[in-house]
Structure 1
Amino acid sequence: MFSQLAALAALAGFVAAQQVGKKTTETHPKMTWQKCTAGGSCSNVNGEFIIGANWRWVHDKNGYTNCYNGNTWNTTICKDGKSCASNCAVDGASYASTYGATTSGNALRLKFVQKGDYSTNIGSRLYMMNGASKYQMYTLLGNEFTFDVDVSKLGCGLNGALYSVSMDEDGGLSKYSGNKAGAKYGTGCCDAQCPRDLKFINGEATVGDWKESTNDPNAGVGKYGSFCTEMDIWYPGEANSISTAFTPHPCTTTGQHRCEGDGCGGTYSDDRYSGTCDPDGCDFNSYRQGVRDVYGPGMTVDTTKKFTVVTKFLKGSSGQLSEIKRFYVQNGKVISNFESTIDGNPGNSLSPEFCEKQKVAFNDADIFANKGGLWDDHYANMLWLDSTFPVDADPQAPGKGRGSCETSSGVPVEIESAQANNQVVYSNFKFGPIGSTFKQP
């Protein structure tokens, strides 16, 4: 999986073993967030975070033998998907010492590299919880989501991410008989990229046809993937100190589903667009839209200091999503999203019209409309976020320059050493009706 810093606000998830281990007590980090009303009054909510199951220790349910070690399966214990799910357990997590994930008050801090007593952990993925056993569900339509973020210690090739996906609220616990762990242990992951590096999907192990990664000692790619609708509020990798974007990824299906092989589409398939979801989405990246002097160190949005991110999901007269608007707040100043300077693609928000014109201006396939419209990367080194991508393209060509990082940057083995102390801090989460989480002039 991507070596990345990630936090997830779940709408409806990485899945590893389905039984519950008892070697380490599972204690979720606690963090308060605020639920706001139409009048602008906000009240504290006691929330929790949980680390995804793909990061957890997977062992035989009666002992300490690894079911998955490095990037390979123990085929003695895991002969097939169903028996592996029955024989193996996902255990509790030590969040601070193992993963470098800590909370304090209304803040969540994620470290990139955490050196523990027995191993070194790279990256993490956390999910917001409603209590101990259910993911936090949000209805974005007609509402806004606001948070503070500090990306001053997050550089090229790294992914400071916050996004929403339509997972099952209980992580698939009630839907799949082979899943005994559920949301409490981070199961049920899906997204529009249809990840195929998941160890367990739908209560079964992906042990068959598993191919170990050639450049990631902890990951591989399996036969199956898990897909669902995704809204990148501050993800994927689309928010470091160099570049930022927000991106909806529609699907023609509802909720989490399992797919197989190249039929999944997305990052891990030969045919990127063969699945039921749009892996590209329609993104607003100011740098990519030709505005290259507004977001970054010392710029209008100064990424050396903490700032507030506001995302509004506006409902049109038809009752459907009509527009996604972005604001920033820093030093008491409200900063509207920046106007695109791309010929034929004006605007500073995402709408059906903007997205249609963007695909034409950038000469991109319009999978977004076809599917319904409105993370350190071992596959592409995060260059699609903060550099020129494809790497042989002219960085001045429309849509190809996505950030100022060099095309040689982002190599995982290099940044895991040189940028081991990188981190991201999220705080002051707020959610409520349009106009309720911050004062707009």
Structure 2
Amino acid sequence: MKSLLIILAVVGLCYGQNAGTNTPEVHLDMPIQNCESGSCQSQSTKVVMDSNWRWAHETTGYTNCYDGNEWSPEFCPDADTCTANCAIDGVDQATWSGTYGVTASGGSLSLKFVTQGTYSTNVGSRVYLMESDSAYRIFYLKNKEFSVDIDTSQLPCGLNGALYFVEMEKDGGMSSYPTNKAGAAYGTGYCDAQCPHDVKFIAGKANSDGWKPSENDPNAGEGKYGACCFEMDIWEANSQAQSFTSHPCNVNGYHPCEGTECGDNGADRYSGVCDKDGCDFASYRNGVHDFYGPGLTVNSNSVITVITQFITADGSDNGDLSEIRRIYIQNGQTIQNAAVNFPGVTAYDSITEPYCNEIKSFFGDVDDHEAKGGLRNMGQSLGRGHVLVMSLWDDHYANMLWLDSSYPTDGDLNAPGTLRGPCPITSGVPSEVESQYASATVKFSNIKIGPIQSY
């Protein structure tokens, strides 16, 4: 019997590149509403499972190429040999729900946190929206409004039900990197502003050289290379806290990195090609502790319509991005975003260049957002087109405390920006949330894109 290899979900996982044939590939239907012409029409889009969650095996058999958190020395003695020897296989209808805990119905997608399958225990998932069975759906967001219904009521501290855009290649990298034979059809080509090293294949080649198994995650590790690109976080949240964030870079498109340009944590963090911190708008961190959460103004106990507007300076699709504005709708009520609530700080209620500059200065944060070109550069990336990502994950690096607790954990609780959510600093330990909250689920539905103020 074949043994499925499922990797624990962490930020920035992905892999490829040969396409296996042992399991037929099935993409789940998830239609969206395209309202860009002024009237809404249903678009027959689908979702594909990220390649990292797939079974990876030798191309001529069933033996795993990656086992535990290490590459097989037999099939992967070096990157070139590994790339030639290994394939990722399909995800059929039964595997979507039975192995990964992912279901779709109409325009709704549900991601379950932990699923006990026949051969494995799966943790988290990440999927991409497709326009066809071989290509990702590309979104051009400048001068547009993006809307989605989200249910985070079943997500406790330590989890992140995320929906975001990244500047991935439409075909998953097949045309740019000929050794990638799987492409978007198998969920390849992931990148983000963290320039993740745990991407198993980068630029069509195995990232096995210099691979270091993780010390606290039995199924993950890091390779020599990273995969960088612009990232626009629409929604990073659980039931306790939420944020949306712009992450510009000083390189265009999908960019493999090595060494300093990856901006690894530590001395190189702000020397890399992407702004890892980003310019975030998080109500709790901005001093409003009664806005989002169970029973609050934006009530995380119920479904929330999350609207994000990408406003340009001249009101055209080609203009410079000048503002990212957030609006909520819940139970028929329109709720404007909460404004910054600190004495002496301008009461901004959206992401603008002045907001990013002032709030980062107030928090004492490095303004890498401006250094990487700010909103104007972010807008240029959005003009080139982004892929929609939906995921559910826990955090083996910082226990998600950066999202929902006090961070850094040894920071002054009275210092502006330290408080990011109400969760205790002891929360979010992956082994604990995986055992205690296996059934945690996030749901995304009713996705729409259209003109500004079309909600």
- Give the TM-score of the pair, scaled to structure 2: 0.91
- Tell me how far apart the structure 2 counterparts of residues 154 and 86 of structure 1 sit (CA, whole Å): 40
1:75 Cα offset (Å): 1.5
Indicate whether 1:286 and 2:292 are aligned: no
Q: Tell me which residue corresponds to 2:9.
A: 3
Q: Tell me which residue corresponds to 1:78.
A: 76
Contact 2:8–2:123 at 8 Å: present in 1 too?
no
1:392 Cα offset (Å): 0.8
Contact 2:14–2:198 at 8 Å: present in 1 too?
no
1:425 Cα offset (Å): 0.5
- Tell me how far apart the structure 2 counterparts of residues 231 and 298 of structure 1 sit (CA, whole Å): 28
Secondary structure class of the residue paired with 2:136 = coil
Q: Tell me which residue corresponds to 1:20.
A: 19
- Tell me how far apart the structure 1 counterparts of residues 134 and 166 of structure 2 sit (CA, whole Å): 17
Q: Tell me which residue corresponds to 1:55.
A: 53
- Tell me how far apart the structure 2 counterparts of residues 85 and 3 of structure 1 sit (CA, whole Å): 22
Contact 1:85–1:204 at 8 Å: present in 2 too?
yes
- Tell me how far apart the structure 1 counterparts of residues 413 and 111 of structure 2 sit (CA, whole Å): 32
Structural mapping, 1:414-429, within 5 Å: 414-429=432-447
Amino acid at match of 2:422: S
Stretches of structure 1 that go unaligned for 5 or more consecutive residues are 7-12
What is the CA RMSD across the aligned residues, in angstroms? Answer: 1.4
Indicate whether 1:384 and 2:402 are aligned: yes
Amino acid at match of 1:212: P
Q: Tell me which residue corresponds to 1:42.
A: 40
* Deviation string, structure 1 residues 375-397 (Cα, Å, up to 9, x no partner): 41100000000000000112332
Amino acid at match of 1:224: Y
1:286 Cα offset (Å): 0.1
Secondary structure class of the residue paired with 2:402 = helix
Q: Tell me which residue corresponds to 1:329.
A: 329
1:398 Cα offset (Å): 0.5
Q: Tell me which residue corresponds to 1:102.
A: 103
Stretches of structure 2 that go unaligned for 5 or more consecutive residues are 1-6, 376-392
1:263 Cα offset (Å): 3.1
1:101 Cα offset (Å): 0.7
Q: 2:258 aligns with which of 260, 274, 282?
A: 260
Secondary structure class of the residue paired with 2:83 = helix
Q: Tell me which residue corresponds to 2:350.
A: 349
Contact 2:165–2:232 at 8 Å: present in 1 too?
yes
1:14 Cα offset (Å): 4.4
- Tell me how far apart the structure 1 counterparts of residues 67 and 327 of structure 2 sit (CA, whole Å): 44
Q: Tell me which residue corresponds to 1:10.
A: none
1:270 Cα offset (Å): 5.2
Secondary structure class of the residue paired with 2:269 = coil
Identity of aligned residues (%): 52
* Deviation string, structure 1 residues 279-316 (Cα, Å, up to 9, x no partner): 00100000000000010001111111111000000010
Structural mapping, 1:2-401, within 5 Å: 3=9, 14-37=13-36, 39=38, 41-93=39-91, 94-234=95-235, 238-266=236-264, 271-317=268-314, 319-342=319-342, 343-374=344-375, 375-401=393-419
Amino acid at match of 1:163: Y
Amino acid at match of 1:322: S
1:272 Cα offset (Å): 1.4
Contact 2:8–2:122 at 8 Å: present in 1 too?
no
- Tell me how far apart the structure 2 counterparts of residues 225 and 358 of structure 1 sit (CA, whole Å): 29
- Aligned length in residues: 425
- Tell me how far apart the structure 2 counterparts of residues 49 and 266 of structure 1 sit (CA, whole Å): 31
Amino acid at match of 1:3: A
Amino acid at match of 2:320: Q
Amino acid at match of 1:306: V
- Tell me how far apart the structure 1 counterparts of residues 9 and 81 of structure 2 sit (CA, whole Å): 29
Contact 1:38–1:434 at 8 Å: present in 2 too?
no
- Tell me how far apart the structure 1 counterparts of residues 373 and 336 of structure 2 sit (CA, whole Å): 27
- Tell me how far apart the structure 1 counterparts of residues 105 and 433 of structure 2 sit (CA, whole Å): 27
1:37 Cα offset (Å): 3.3
- Tell me how far apart the structure 1 counterparts of residues 412 and 426 of structure 2 sit (CA, whole Å): 15
Contact 2:13–2:196 at 8 Å: present in 1 too?
no
Cα gap change, 1:270/1:197 in structure 2, threshold over 3 Å: closer, same or farther?
Answer: farther
Bigger drift between 315-324 and 333-342 goes to 315-324
Contact 1:327–1:336 at 8 Å: present in 2 too?
yes
- Tell me how far apart the structure 2 counterparts of residues 84 and 247 of structure 1 sit (CA, whole Å): 36
- Tell me how far apart the structure 1 counterparts of residues 267 and 394 of structure 2 sit (CA, whole Å): 21
- Tell me how far apart the structure 1 counterparts of residues 452 and 174 of structure 2 sit (CA, whole Å): 33
* Deviation string, structure 1 residues 321-370 (Cα, Å, up to 9, x no partner): 00000000001000000011123242100000000001111000010000
- Tell me how far apart the structure 2 counterparts of residues 420 and 199 of structure 1 sit (CA, whole Å): 26
Amino acid at match of 2:351: L
Amino acid at match of 2:259: G
Secondary structure class of the residue paired with 2:394 = coil
- Tell me how far apart the structure 2 counterparts of residues 84 and 276 of structure 1 sit (CA, whole Å): 28
Indicate whether 1:413 and 2:431 are aligned: yes
* Deviation string, structure 1 residues 107-150 (Cα, Å, up to 9, x no partner): 00000001101110000011111110111100110001101011
- Tell me how far apart the structure 2 counterparts of residues 364 and 398 of structure 1 sit (CA, whole Å): 10
